């Protein structure tokens, strides 16, 4: 008599990843140098190709207006600042006008850019200092710019780079900060330290263009919450853990 044997399904053991291959991948990854000159060169080339005409989006017609617009752009979009500045500069055309303006009147003009109490105080203070100590002219050195109320390195770098064509440092705004970290150009998270790292890694003759390009890339492609990696020309060089799509 033939006995019926009941077959019980056997659960297959999870396939083990080949140890050698895994190890090799890890070693290759640990050997990758994000600051290698050839990678930096390739990044700069790709950025320049993607944003050949990248420039400052803040509308201005002289260094003072650029300084004002940059102060207003803190925690605010450039588009919003560009909506506010035409009327502001009509009402207060020169640093002297800003210096003599009652704070409440400046506040009223810039209210929609946010933090308007502090921003009005900074603009009034900067205008007073400018008229009292710099003959009403925006100075062209980092040290002098940093003496103006409300002006820190970011604003000073924007004014020096855009208005005077001087590459004294690298503009580190929210986009440059985020992208520098994603692209492993720095391990720091404080703007001042990120700027120091970028100044070591990026050739000085690229400092001005580099920050404009990165800002454009951060606005259009490498968005904070959901980067558009499948549309990103830097993707082959990017190993960020934030990637939403990857070829490697
Ligand atoms: S691949 Fe993605 S995360 Fe990397 S730079 Fe491009 S958009 Fe940003």
Give the containing element (helix H, strand E) for 74: none
CA distances from 79 to 109, 167, 179 (A): 16, 25, 21
* pLDDT for the residue numbered 27: 52
pTM for the structure as a whole? 0.87
Q: How far apart are CA 208 and CA 33, in angstroms?
A: 24
For ligand 1, pick from 183, 234, 237 the residue to mutate: most ligand atoms within 8 Å of CB: 234
How confident is the model over 67-88, as pLDDT tens digits? 999 999 999 999 999 999 999 9
**Measuring from atom 4 of ligand 1, which residue has the nearest CA?**
238
Using 50, 70 and 90 to split pLDDT, how confident is the model at 18?
very low
Residue 64 has pLDDT above 50, yes or no: yes
* pLDDT for the residue numbered 32: 87
Ligand 1 center–CA 180 separation, angstroms: 11
User: What percentage of the chain reaches a pLDDT higher than 90?
Assistant: 87
Q: Which residue has the tokens 């890339």?
A: 217
Averaged pLDDT of the chain: 91
Residue 16 has pLDDT above 80, yes or no: no
How confident is the model over 165-224, as pLDDT tens digits? 999 999 999 999 999 999 999 999 999 999 999 999 999 999 999 999 999 999 999 999
Q: Taking residues 24-47, report their average pLDDT.
A: 82
Residue 25 has pLDDT above 70, yes or no: no
Q: How far apart are CA 189 and CA 187, in angstroms?
A: 7
Cβ proximity of 233 and 50 under 8 Å: yes
Per DSSP, the residues of 70-89 read: HHHTTTS-HHHHHHHHHHHH
Using 50, 70 and 90 to split pLDDT, how confident is the model at 118?
very high
- 229 or 12, which is more confident: 229
Q: How far apart are CA 191 and CA 232, in angstroms?
A: 24
- Residue 77's contacts (CB-CB under 8 Å, 6 or more residues apart) are none
Q: Which residues are catalytic?
A: 154, 173
**Measuring from atom 3 of ligand 1, which residue has the nearest CA?**
243
């Amino acid at each position: 008599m033939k006995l019926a044997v009941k077959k019980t399904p056997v659960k297959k053991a999870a396939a083990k990843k080949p140890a050698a291959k895994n190890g090799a991948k890890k070693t290759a990854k640990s050997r990758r140098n994000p600051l290698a000159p050839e990678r930096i060169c390739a990044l700069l080339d790709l950025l320049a190709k993607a944003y050949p005409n990248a420039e400052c989006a803040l509308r201005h017609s002289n260094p003072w207006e650029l300084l004002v617009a940059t102060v207003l752009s803190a925690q605010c979009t450039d588009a919003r600042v560009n909506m506010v500045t035409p009327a502001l500069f009509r009402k207060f055309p020169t640093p002297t006008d800003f210096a003599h303006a009652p704070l409440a009147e400046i506040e009223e003009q810039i209210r929609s850019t946010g933090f308007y109490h502090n921003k009005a105080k900074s603009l009034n203070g900067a205008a007073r200092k400018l008229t009292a100590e710099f003959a009403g002219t925006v100075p062209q050195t980092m040290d002098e710019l940093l003496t103006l109320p409300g002006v820190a390195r970011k604003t000073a770098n924007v004014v020096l780079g855009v208005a005077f064509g001087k590459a004294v440092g690298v503009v580190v705004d929210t986009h440059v900060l985020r992208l520098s970290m994603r692209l492993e150009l720095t391990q720091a998270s404080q703007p001042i330290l990120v700027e120091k790292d970028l100044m070591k890694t990026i050739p000085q003759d690229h400092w001005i263009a580099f920050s404009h390009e990165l800002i454009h890339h951060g606005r259009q492609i490498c968005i904070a919450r959901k980067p558009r990696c499948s549309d990103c020309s830097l993707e082959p060089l990017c190993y960020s853990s934030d990637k939403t799509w990857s070829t490697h």
